[in-house]
Amino acid sequence: MKKFIVTTTINEPTEAIRRFDALAGWTLIVVGDQKTPEPYTLKNGIYLTPAEQEKLAPELSDLIGWNCIQRRNLGFVLALDLGAELVATVDDDNIPYPDWGSKILLGTPQTVTTYDAPNGCFDPIGATEHGHLWHRGYPLQLLSSRDYSNQAEETHQFDVQAEFWDGDPDIDAVCRMEHAPTVKFDAARFPFCSGAVSPFNSQNTILTREALAHYFMAPGVGRMDDIWGAFHVYAQGFRTIYCQPSVRQDRNQHDLTKDLEGEILGYRLNEIIVRSINEGRYGVADYWPEQALRAFDAYRRRIGA
């Protein structure tokens, strides 16, 4: 099975990058940007230079633009070109544990705890012992109605494996300003899933080739780029399983006020998008800006989807 790890960076190789680069059975692709230090050296993986990106997918490259994390879509293109069957999308500040990637639960039926979400949207962090926190992208308007009382052991087949993160978890700016958490999740609570719409991110998530054809980090939507991609994947009928932490996030320096500004679009629209999916009237063109729609179309055409 061909398995790839894709990331972007504007830093020298970090500890996380060096560890991902050394993983047996996986090929790392690092997508460079105009700010990435040159030369960028990997022992085993592939460094995709800006010039190579422009040759690989010129239309997509132009539509995404530079100096943004959405350059990672070019790495997805290369992985698919190279025959990837599984693709992990990771961040360069998420340090993998030694057993990262050793337990893949995709493609075969799995019996796991399955939560109902009466309010129509499932928050995976709320299902853990850190229920005072919530996942980035979860609609703030639904926080007070989260309900985990209805659960059962069910068997499903999954297309997305969203693995958690110890240390600084993936929460939104409001949650981080309020709680500033450093956490360690109880591995015994995983894996689990829900049939409801739920967010997953691009910092420690593994997708099948089929799911990746619909997953896209949308430019022009701030910090909702991966979240709206996750909602779109759900709307196409793919299922997500949430698994125990396999990384420790030593979060790169962030300005929380800028993070909040980059999340405003989600605070305003995420509940509406979730409702539209649940009511069967979701259309990506109803919410994504023109830049994102054109880039997504270019991505789909480039990968032959």
Q: Any idea what the CATH number is for the domain that residue 194 is in?
A: 3.90.550
- Of 234, 172, 249, nearest to 204 by C-alpha is 249
Q: Which domain holds residue 152?
A: 3-302
Report the distance separating Cα 125 and Cα 173, nearest Å: 15
The answer to whether residues 134 and 227 touch, using CB atoms and an 8 Å cutoff, is no
**Helix 290-302 to helix 72-81 angle, to the nearest 10 degrees?**
20
> Quick one: average pLDDT of 19-47?
97
Q: Given this model, what pLDDT does residue 58 score?
A: 98
- Of 215, 212, 201, nearest to 80 by C-alpha is 212
The answer to whether residues 229 and 216 touch, using CB atoms and an 8 Å cutoff, is yes
Q: Inform me whether the pLDDT recorded for 252 exceeds 80.
A: no
Q: Inform me whether the pLDDT recorded for 10 exceeds 80.
A: yes
> Quick one: average pLDDT of 200-204?
98
> Quick one: average pLDDT of 143-154?
98
Q: What is the pLDDT of residues 216-238, one digit of tens each?
A: 999 999 999 999 999 999 999 99
Q: Inform me whether the pLDDT recorded for 253 exceeds 80.
A: no
Q: Given this model, what pLDDT does residue 191 score?
A: 98
The answer to whether residues 244 and 128 touch, using CB atoms and an 8 Å cutoff, is no
Q: Given the DSSP bridges, would you call strands 86-90 and 204-208 parallel, antiparallel or unpaired?
A: antiparallel
The answer to whether residues 8 and 35 touch, using CB atoms and an 8 Å cutoff, is no
Q: Given this model, what pLDDT does residue 99 score?
A: 96
| The token pair that represents 294 in the structure block | 């054109």
Query: For the chain, what is the domain count?
Result: 1
Report the distance separating Cα 98 and Cα 245, nearest Å: 12
Question: Whole-angstrom distance between the N-terminal and C-terminal Cα of the chain?
Answer: 21
- Of 244, 200, 250, 207, nearest to 224 by C-alpha is 200
Mean of all residue pLDDT scores within the chain: 97
